[in-house]
Each structure stands twice: as C-alpha cells, then as structure tokens.
Structure 1
Amino acid sequence: MEIEDFESLMLKTLLTGLILFMAFIVYDLSKKSRAGKFGTFVLFGALCLGVLGFVIKGFLMSSIG
C-alpha cells in the first residue's frame, strides 16, 4: 500500500469517526439541556449543514483539481 492510499483511507476513516463523535456530543448536549424535539432538530441540522458543506467542498475541489 502506497502512502497516498493509506492517507486517503485514514482521512475517510478518522473523519467519519469524528463526525459520529460530534453527533454523539450534539445528542448528549440536547439531552442535558432538555432542548426538546425542535431544539434537537436545530442542533442536528446545524451539524448536518456543516458536514454537507465539507462534503460539497471536497467534491468541488476534486472536480477542479
């Protein structure tokens, strides 16, 4: 396995783990603050928008370069 392949695999794996950990943090935050259904939806919506922006940036950068 070449170093570039390993870096690509680890980036995808660790980034997925980070996103799942952030989802757990948001869930825990909404539980502890008793945010309710709408508050939890807003918190997860903000997290999803951030992840979506990162994914779109990745697609744009790979199509340009």
Structure 2
Amino acid sequence: MLAKYYEQIESIMLDLGLVILFVLMIFAVHDVLKKNDVPMIGRVVAYGVLGLGAMGFIAKGIIQLFWQSSGVSG
C-alpha cells in the first residue's frame, strides 16, 4: 500500500517540510530584528521578502494543481 501512494506521501512531506522551514526562518528573522532594534521599515521589508517567498511557493503549488488537473504532466 505504501508503494501505491509513494508520490502523494512524498509531495505532502515536501510541502510540510517547506512550511516548517518558513516558520523557522520567520522565528530566526524575528529574533535577529528584535535583538538589533531594527526600525519598523526594516522589519516591514524583511517580513515582506519572507512573505513574497512563501507566496511564490503557494503560487507554484496552485499552478501545479491546475496543470495536473488539466492533464499537463510536470
């Protein structure tokens, strides 16, 4: 049964791993910004860059779902 769902399990674990890595990056950046007393504009830029990176991965996942549902392999 595991071999039958290997690709699906692999895809779910990859997505979960990326979510965990983004959360850890947010904690690390928050800690560095807090300890160095960074101004608000610097915090907005840092969090904005992290947010755009996360949105890129989300967009990739959505595009991949649309392509796979229409029959395009990738």
TM-score, normalised by the number of residues in structure 2 = 0.71
- Give RMSD over aligned pairs: 1.6
Could you tell me which runs of 5 or more consecutive residues in structure 2 were left unpaired when the two chains were aligned: none
Return structure 1 stretches of 4+ with deviation > 6 angstroms.
Answer: none
AA paired with 1:16?
V
Q: Does 1:24 align with 2:5?
A: no
Q: Which runs of 5+ in 1 are unaligned?
A: none
Identity of aligned residues (%): 35
Query: How many residues were matched structurally?
Result: 65
Task: Report what 2:36 is aligned to.
Answer: 33
Give the aligned residue type for 2:59. Answer: I
Per-residue Cα deviation, 1:15-38 (whole angstroms, up to 9, x for no partner): 111110010111012113211222
Query: Shift of the alpha carbon at 1:41?
Result: 1.5
Please say which of residues 41-50 and 51-60 is displaced more in the overlay.
Answer: 51-60
- Computing the radius of gyration from Cα coordinates, the structure with the larger value is 2
- 1:7: how far off? 0.7
More helix by share: 1
Relative contact order (C-alpha < 8 Å, sep 6+): which is higher? 1
Once residues 22 and 63 of structure 2 are traced to their aligned partners in structure 1, the CA distance between those partners, rounded to angstroms, is 20
